[in-house]
Amino acid sequence: MKDDSVYLKHILESIRPIEEDTREGRGKFLSSHTLQDAVLRNLQTLSESMQRLSQAMKSRHPEVEWKRITAFRNLLVHDYLGVDLERVWEICQRDLPKLKQGVVVMLGELDLPG
């Protein structure tokens, strides 16, 4: 069983390419299947890592909408045709920056002496 730091670092590693792939704006994202596929794949792997975090970590951070993330992951994996790209864009712009900050905080907690 991997520890939370492995998953948290993986989440950050998944966020970075999403930031890069959405940097050129909404229009470019919505018109490029390549960018859409890359972003969706990274969102999927990010959400997989979030699901694997320990229950203790999740309990310490009730501000994170764990159930919503799981539901989004299930949509990406099981209902690919039901993905709303406008919603994906909103998530990338509004939710990912907050998630990134939260993950940095969680990693900092793990580095603190116990």
Q: Which residues are catalytic?
A: 73, 78
| Placement of tokens 């919503």 in the chain | 68
Query: Both tokens of residue 29?
Result: 């994202």
Q: Can you tell me whether residue 90 is helix, strand or coil?
A: helix
CA 17 to chain CA centroid, Å, is 11
Cβ atoms of 102 and 64 within 8 Å: the answer is yes
Q: What is the C-alpha to C-alpha distance for residues 50 and 32, in angstroms, rounded to an integer?
A: 27
Query: Both tokens of residue 10?
Result: 């993986």
